[in-house]
């Protein structure tokens, strides 16, 4: 469970970040995260700028009132700091 994109996204939304603590049995069993997993759809892999998506993703959120928000991250914060 902890290694599927649905879990990564749900844990990030539930806790407003994603880190090593999300690999613990307690977090993997977290009910708040599991309530979000079924609401997540994973789209196709990127076709543009593929080399920049080493560890990144684009996340889009559609609210119940129809608003949409999207953000793309090409590298985690730790990687971006190390690449400088």
The predicted structure's pLDDT at residue 25? 94
Q: Quick one: 62 and 78 in the same domain?
A: yes
Q: What domain range is 23 assigned to? A: 1-42
Q: Quick one: 33 and 47 in the same domain?
A: no
Q: Which of 53, 48, 59 is nearest to 76 (CA)?
A: 53
Q: Which of 25, 24, 26, 28 is nearest to 11 (CA)?
A: 28
The predicted structure's pLDDT at residue 72? 82
Cα of first residue to Cα of last residue in the chain, in angstroms, is 33
Q: Quick one: 6 and 28 in the same domain?
A: yes
Q: Quick one: 81 and 66 in the same domain?
A: yes
Q: Please, what is the average pLDDT of the chain?
A: 82
Mean pLDDT of 37-63: 79
Q: Which of 78, 30, 71 is nearest to 10 (CA)?
A: 30
The predicted structure's pLDDT at residue 18? 87
Q: Quick one: 38 and 64 in the same domain?
A: no
């Amino acid at each position: 469970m902890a290694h599927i994109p649905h879990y990564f996204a749900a844990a990030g939304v539930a806790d407003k970040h994603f880190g090593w603590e999300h690999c613990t049995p307690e977090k993997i069993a977290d009910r708040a995260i599991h309530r979000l997993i079924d609401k997540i759809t994973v789209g196709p892999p990127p076709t543009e700028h593929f080399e920049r998506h080493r560890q990144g993703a684009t996340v889009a959120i559609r609210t119940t009132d129809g608003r949409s928000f999207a953000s793309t991250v090409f590298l985690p914060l730790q990687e971006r700091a190390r690449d400088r």
